[in-house]
Amino acid sequence: MKPYSEMSKEELEAQKAELTKQFEQAKEKGLKLDMSRGKPEPAQLDMGMGLLDVLTSSSDMKCMEGIDTRNYGLMDGITEAKHLMADVMSVPAENVIVYGNSSLAIMYDTISRSVTHGVMGSTPWCKLDQVKFLCPVPGYDRHFAITQHFGIEMIPIPMTADGPDMDLVEKYVSEDESVKGIWCVPKYSNPSGVSYSDETVRRFAALKPAAKDFRIYWDNAYAVHHLYEDKRDEILEILSECEKAGNPDMVFEFCSTSKITFSGAGMAAMASSAANLADTKKTLTLQTIGYDKVNQLRHARYFKNLEGMLAHMKKHANIIRPKFEAVLAVLERELGGLGIGEWTKPLGGYFISFNAMEGCAKAIVAKCKEAGVVLTGAGATYPYGKDPKDSNIRIAPTFPTAQEMAQATDLFVLCVKLVSVEKLLQTA
């Protein structure tokens, strides 16, 4: 079929009539499918059930330090958990604090602490007239929600195939002292699946911020989340690159096991410089006497080391890879060559980013919902929920089965076609 933009008005009207008929038939199927959030499916959670068998009532509960993990102490985490999470992030264990189950909570706390108490002795953000954050777009809606919650002005930075537009990043960071941070998902970015190039990471490390309290919020959520054994992205390690560039304190890095073991009962960690960690611990000592060390011990003994975790991740990939491939196959078969959409083909992570014709995303998402398929809200991948082109849609293929994903994608492409035809007819 030729591109929709080359069709005559009569051809578009014929297409609309046929697509409308198909859409009404699709609604009659009574689908109830959700691909709005990047959740592991039950089979992925079942894979980690052995985690619950590692510790029993007769287990030795002491960690490497000889401390009973059931008791108080070791506020920054047990050594074996630090080593495991350090290996995930490719950083030294002494640069790591292990927290509870949520990296999002660590990010929230880090922003909150900066607002109320400042960063390493700098003026608390709450006492400043303006505080701004750079936000690569399309990006992670929960990042944007945190900064919006604290009244921080968000500046969209377009994503490229190599990561954020670094010319813009460098300009804002070097010229505007009110720019205090940037959100980053450097590997298999949410939602595009893009991984930052070596040049991009080095340019981040070499930034010359006007604000001494500027920090890069490096959310390495998908550090080990490859879909393929023979095709995988690798990124430079940011902490060591910053140290080489003379900016050792410029990064807070975050990760968790949320999509490795149990999403609601994993463990999360932050890596940073010794100075940043010392500053963080001043507040942490007031916040907690220690996180769940029993859970940390359980994870450390279950995986033993990074190799054990990577072997576990291969099983995850075997479950979710067919779902990604099912979505991509339908997109290519049904939309390839029509000129009404573009999409990413990630090698890892949890999402596919789809760009519809300008002005169509909200209508597509609404049509899908009408026929029983729930997508992430259009605009969610932009600060304040405002996609200036109303184009980007995040597809989360992981939770439904492969068969359900194929069904959902069939409906999705039908809605893309119908909304696109209607859009083109407005100007035909």
pLDDT for 404: 87
Q: Determine if residue 211 is left, alpha or beta; phi over 0 gives left, psi from -120 to 50 gives alpha, anything else beta.
A: beta
In a domain, 315, yes or no: yes
Residue after which a domain boundary falls, among 304, 325, 356? 304
Tokens 């304190």, located at residue: 249
Half-sphere exposure in the Cβ direction for 7 (13 Å, CA): 23
pLDDT for 157: 98
Residue 218 and residue 329 in one domain:
no
Half-sphere exposure in the Cβ direction for 374 (13 Å, CA): 8
Residue 137 and residue 18 in one domain:
no
Residue 295 and residue 331 in one domain:
no
In a domain, 54, yes or no: no
- Domain holding 322: CATH number? 3.90.1150.10
In a domain, 53, yes or no: no
pLDDT for 35: 81
Residue 342 and residue 264 in one domain:
no
In a domain, 155, yes or no: yes
Residue 284 and residue 327 in one domain:
no
Residue after which a domain boundary falls, among 285, 304, 323? 304
Predicted model pTM:
0.96
- Domain holding 165: CATH number? 3.40.640.10
The full length of the chain comes to 428
Residue 88 and residue 232 in one domain:
yes
In a domain, 325, yes or no: yes
- Whole domain around residue 237: which residue ranges? 63-304
C-alpha–C-alpha distance, residues 19 and 70, integer Å: 61
Residue 300 and residue 151 in one domain:
yes
The amino acid sitting at 33 is L
pLDDT for 406: 85
Neighbours of 60 (CB within 10 A): 10
Residue 289 and residue 378 in one domain:
no
**382 and 138 Cβ atoms separated by less than 8 Å:** yes
In a domain, 126, yes or no: yes
C-alpha distance from residue 404 to each of 291, 292, 373, 408 (Å) = 39, 37, 10, 6
Count the domains in the chain. Answer: 2
Residue 284 and residue 320 in one domain:
no
Residue 149 and residue 99 in one domain:
yes
Residue 274 and residue 321 in one domain:
no
Residue 13 and residue 97 in one domain:
no
Instruction: Render each residue's pLDDT in the chain as its tens digit; 428 residues.
Output: 789 999 999 999 999 999 999 999 999 988 898 888 889 999 999 999 999 999 999 999 999 999 999 999 999 999 999 999 999 999 999 999 999 999 999 999 999 999 999 999 999 999 999 999 999 999 999 999 999 999 999 999 999 999 999 999 999 999 999 999 999 999 999 999 999 999 999 999 999 999 999 999 999 999 999 999 999 999 999 999 999 999 999 999 999 999 999 999 999 999 999 999 999 999 999 999 999 999 999 999 999 999 999 999 999 999 999 999 999 999 999 999 999 999 999 999 999 999 999 999 999 999 999 999 999 999 999 999 999 999 999 999 998 888 888 889 999 999 999 999 999 999 87
In a domain, 52, yes or no: no
Residue after which a domain boundary falls, among 252, 279, 304? 304
In a domain, 56, yes or no: no
